[in-house]
Amino acid sequence: MATSERLPGARHATVVDVLPGAGGSTRTDPPNVDVETIKGFGQEWSAFPQTELNQVERAEVFRKYFSLIDWSKKPRRALDMGCGSGRWAVLVAPLVGELVAADASREALGVAQRNIQASNVSFVESTPETLPYPDGYFDFIFSLGVLHHVPDTAGAIGSLVKKLCPGGTLLLYLFYAFDSRPRWFKAIWRVSDLVRGVISKLPFVFRYWLSQIIAICVYWPLARTAKYLPVPDTWPLKFYADRSFYVMRTDALDRFGTRLEKRFTREQIVQMLQSAGLTEIRFSDSFPYWVCSAMKPPRPG
């Protein structure tokens, strides 16, 4: 069984135990992780630590992801599950009392520690299932673009809900299954997914350079066309119309360099959240899809 040690409020606290083959001790029970995917994200965030991300652009994207959150009610204890480079934790830290930045990749955590200077942030190497906190510890948990990269997404949601206090909020971003998109759009995606299946199995240096070629030859032309011409909402990669090339390069590696990727319909997400015992489920009406929030019911009385 894994052991851990943590000091509340310590900025450089880590849990060094959770992943077989990823720098920690071996567990006897199979963890809800794909080790190669975790390794790939560590490499991704080392290559793109987000230090070149324009602060105005970061704030714009932050508002899209966190539009469902009422910041007038300051969370006491928040968790960023799958913090990666810490690009969102940097902006959340001033808005909460205590923030835990957790990630299954030790390499990614190292990037986050270099990026985040706030004294109210601590760092933990962990999966949703191995978080070293008592049940009901957090009143706000967010996990953006993470849980569609684990084998059992519903199980990971259930593990996070256990750590959420009654009345607490869970904010997720899960890749959408192209709900309501036309057939030609889905056909293009299926081709791109075949390409991803090949590229994601290559050594990192090849994943990196091939993804950058895709960013130059696919992301940039489609995005800039959407920026300057009146294209329909179904235009591929329209989300990047006003995004920097740095974001496109990062996301191209994220998209084509990741081995495990899953997609969900809105109905499937609702079912997972309800099965985990959450209520008051809401979805953002704007891209990216699907960003959603849900509440753990308060205790009666």
CA atoms within 13 A on the CB side of 245: 10
Q: What mean pLDDT is predicted for residues 54-75? A: 95
DSSP letter for each residue of 91-159 = HHGGGSSEEEEEES-HHHHHHHHHH---TTEEEEE--GGG--S-TT-EEEEEEES-GGGSS-HHHHHHH
Q: How far is CA 42 from CA 26, 45, 175, 242, in A?
A: 19, 5, 20, 27
Inter-residue contact 127 to 154 (CB < 8 Å): no
pLDDT tens column, 197-208 = 999 999 999 999
The whole model's pTM is what?
0.90
Domain boundaries, the chain: 35-176+263-295, 183-256
Longest Cα–Cα distance in the chain: 59
Distance CA 300, CA 298 (A): 6
- CA dist 120 to 45, 95, 155, 253, Å? 22, 10, 29, 31
Band (pLDDT 50/70/90 cuts) for residue 4 is very low
Confidence of residue 3 (pLDDT cuts 50, 70, 90): very low
pLDDT digits (tens, 9 = 90+) for 116-164: 999 999 999 999 999 999 999 999 999 999 999 999 999 999 999 999 9
Supply 103's token pair: 């990630």
pLDDT tens track for 243-292: 999 999 999 999 999 999 999 999 999 999 999 999 999 999 998 999 99
- The CATH superfamily label for domain 35-176+263-295 reads Vaccinia Virus protein VP39 (3.40.50.150)
Question: Is residue 180 very low, low, confident or very high in pLDDT (cuts 50, 70, 90)?
Answer: confident
